[in-house]
Structures are given as C-alpha cells and as structure tokens.
Structure 1
C-alpha cells in the first residue's frame, strides 16, 4: 500500500462519546474501550483503503476461517501521556516486527508498516482524551488480525481483517502470585507456534491454568515439552529468576516469545551493573537454590504488568516460599522502566517514540 493512500485514512467520527460514563479511577484491565477503532481489510491479494470508525461489533460469515482453523494473531503495547499532553509509544517498532513475524508463521499477509504505524498514530490522536496523565495511567493498544475468508476447506484464508482497538488502563496488579511448575502440560513445542502471538497459544493455556487455580496457584511456570526440565515462561509472561545477585532468564526460541519488556529489562539491568545470564534454567537449579537460600526473587515480565513478582512456587507437591526483600531488583527495574515510559526519566536507550 502506498504512503499516499494511508495518509488519506477515511475517518468517521462517533456521534457521541462514552468517555463520560467511564470511572477512570476504577478500571478493570481490558474491559473498557475507546470511541473508535482502526480497520483495514486484505482482499484480492492486496490491502484495501483503511478506515477509522466508531467502535462497534461487526458481522462475519459463520464459515470464516478464523472460527475453524484459528488464523488469528495479536500484539500488546501501550501509549502514555506526559505532563505536556504529548503522547508516547514504547518501542513500537519491536511490536510491528513481531506482529509480522507472527503473521508469517501463521501464513497470513504482512501488514505494511505505514498502515500499522500511521493507523495507530491517527487512532491515538482521535481518542487522545482517553489517555490520562500520571504515573500508572496508560492506554493499552491491541492490534490484531483475523482470517475472514469464507469456507471450511483446510487451507489459509484469502481474506483478512487487521484492526486496532484501544483500552485505557491503570497500573496492573494481580495480588500475590504463587506458581505451579509444569510437570506434564506444555505451552509450546519445537517446530510449533510458541514464538508467535497466536490466539491459539493462549487458548491452550486456559485448561492447565484452571487446574492450577483450583489447586491454589495463580499461574504456571511452563517447562520445555521434551523433558520438562527447563523453565520457560510464567503464565503469559517471560520470567526471570534471581539466584544470589544474578538474574537468569531463558533464551528466546521457537517455544518462547521474544518479549519486548523482557529485552528492555535485560538491557536496563546491564546498565545498572546487575549481572544477567540468558541461558536455559533448569528446574533442578531452582529447587536447589530455593532449598539452600540462594533463590531471592522470581518475577514475570510483560506489557500489562511490566513486572509481576512471584512469592512462591510448587514442584512435585513441595512448596517453596521466597524471602520478602526490601528494594528488590524486580521493584527497582520496574520503577526505572516505567519512569522512562512515562517520560519521568531520561530515555538513554531511545525507546520512546512521540505520536
């Protein structure tokens, strides 16, 4: 698609706004959406004219391939408003690249960069009043693409819909998190789609996570599919382990998502002279470190929560409580990263991009 076309996005403004009905002090994550959405269809081998229009349900053929063969991908990102009312994105180029990597893996068309970026920028500007200033406030951004072509033949769709929707968010806090280390279930397998943000990855997690919830745990730390000896991700987040004063996290692979928060925390930790090792982490290492007192912290890393501390884990029906640490590495890194995102600290990495 040409830049000329994307610069002439059709914009249909909502006749009324929902913003006055929203309690911005008591937002539940991902449940409230702004007045508008961005949409661009792929038909006849090319992307069509994009449009921004009022947020509303839409119709799909019952035989649309997304329902039958699961061609669906998404991204998660955020925008922030500083004290000057300027809007900032955090590493949007990384989200764009990962989105298209997911599209390639799911046999879906890549979205042109100008469609993704300019569509997002125009949508944020139109619904800018929904982005509130102040530490802890943000706009959660959900770009996604689904297969809309009709027919139940098992092959890739020839038609797709790319959309962006916006949801105002407060600081995400899920309370104290205890995790169960997976001994049987796997999040992903070698050769599979674990590195893609495919909708099916998340659907497959729901059943084992529900079993963990019933056992009194909030999330699962996934292990490798072949041996269940290597620690991989925590729930829907990348995961870090602090043993003594070193942070450990698994390398990305076909099974592990290339998290943007993850790579940002690694770079930030190195800048702060915190030792980081990116390598396979064994379950046996974690258990041994917990038993001898060397395991200090476990925390998840992702867009929604940024950093989510884990207070304990269970493996083979043995529970290990982590020590309570003042001024933990998790809290330090979260504070420094969110200060950059909210433009309260200098962005020496060049991660923030003005809308």
Structure 2
C-alpha cells in the first residue's frame, strides 16, 4: 500500500512510498483510509522541526487527522465492517502518570505519551491502517465527506469543556464569546460556541476569501479591525485564542468582562519578544477574578463530544471548511498553503 512518510528532523524528506500492509493485532480494527487532514503540526514535521519516528525506524507515517471505513472488526468491539471511524491521536505511556491512568491522557504529567503520526507511532496517512477498538470513535454515516474534521473539533471541544469547568468555580452564565483566528480551529470553536447559544464574534486579519462568509453563515459576527477595538466593543465573557500571535494573546488576557475566561489554544513561536505591562495584566486578572487556561490535545471524551457536534452541524457549512482536496500521490501540494485555504486534506 502507499503511505505519506517523512524522516523526522530532516528537511524535504516528505515522500509517498510503498509500505507493508498492516496486520491487525488482537482487539484492533482494520481500516480503509479515506482522508487525512494537514495542519500546522504536520507542516512542522515535514520541515524537519518536530516529530519522532517509531523506535528502530528512520521514517514515520505522517497524519493524525484521520477518517476511515472499517474493513474488519473483532467480535464484541462495538464496530462493524462499513463503519465510519476516526482514530484517537494520543496514547498514554506504558507506565502511566495519574492522569493517563484515569483516561485523561491529554493531561499527561510525565511527557512519555506517544502520538499517532507525531511521536513514535505511525500515523493515519496510509491507504490502510489499524487502530485499537478502544481508540476509535464512530461517526455518523452522513459525515463521510467532512468526518476528517473530527480531530480539530476535539481540540475545541476540550477547550470549551475547560472554559465551562473553570467557569463553574462560581456562578457562570456567559453570553458573548470572542474567537481570535478564523482558521480551522477558530471556525470550529465558533461553531461550538453558536451551538451553545452564545453571541459569537470572530477576529481575523483577512477581509477576502471564504472566512468572513463562513463566520457570518454561523450567525456570528466577523471582525477585521484591531484587537483593542474589538475587545472594547464586544467585552467578551469568554475568549478562545486560536492564533498564538503574541499581541492577541496579551490583549485577550485583560480584555474580558469581569470573571472572564481565556482559553489559549494557539502555540506561539519562540524567540519573538514583545513589551507588555505585566503589572497591569496581573492587576486586571486578580481584581476581576479572571482565569487563563491553556488547552491542547484531547481524550476519548472529547472525541465523542466532537462526533456529536459534527453530527448536529450544518453539513454544507462543514463541507465549505474543506477548501482543497489533494490526491495522495500529489500530497506535497497540501503542505504549501494557498491564500484561500481553510482546511486542506489528502484523499487516500
């Protein structure tokens, strides 16, 4: 079979090549790969900046945003041939920390977790793959063209869960949410915000292309003005920060209504320096009982939340998030962003 592979730590090593057909172990599903998504993490690995091959191997099968159809399932697994499934990315380490041992492997304390397509386990960027039944999640059949959005949706499902758990330390009834960034994570965060009945605002620097219309068609408001102006006008109860841009991060910290919650999901590049009034930030957070939380990855609970969110979303809107589909043999094209890209996927 063919698979998208890379030699981690080496630039320009991305290659579609023949790899052995997988043989399912006891308790595993055999899955026909349909589509794999491409995100910033994949591009970093392809540039040689990140990633680990499986032990004893030079190459890693890339891809953590998965979608496939079950070919073969073990008896009693809860799956059947023909089921549409996504595979979970992270696995707890063999000697799990307390969080991993309780199924909260997205909150691993010791860092010895592994991840499909990222860290020491082959990913889902192959024409056929296997996955443990306990790390597969079923999707509704009508999501075949958009189910690859599952993994990024888990990221924002967890982010919203974190916001609600932090807010629950006291009476919390948010009305307005601001999402910074209208990439796939930001748009999906806005989707889940509207599903919660909130007044949602999305900030992005673009004014052309598909993003403004995608936001407005959710019933949300799109903004392209400066962050300070948007913060002042909206006064959000919740901010989901999905860019990692330093100026947006720091503006968000002091821009919420009292008892606001800021959830940081974007990863900032290292080395860029900005000047901030640390005293003012501290004063604002303390005196208004604000909270700031970072959120990354997802566990099985978030995958099920994401599956429910996608199942109830407008299918035509989800289809518009996928702005480019690239065949596997031309997979390298998916790693060069185009101006109107939202989500780029590779057909397997």
The two structures have a TM-score, normalised by structure 2, of 0.32
Write 1 or 2 for the structure with the bigger share of strand: 1
The two structures have a TM-score, normalised by structure 1, of 0.32
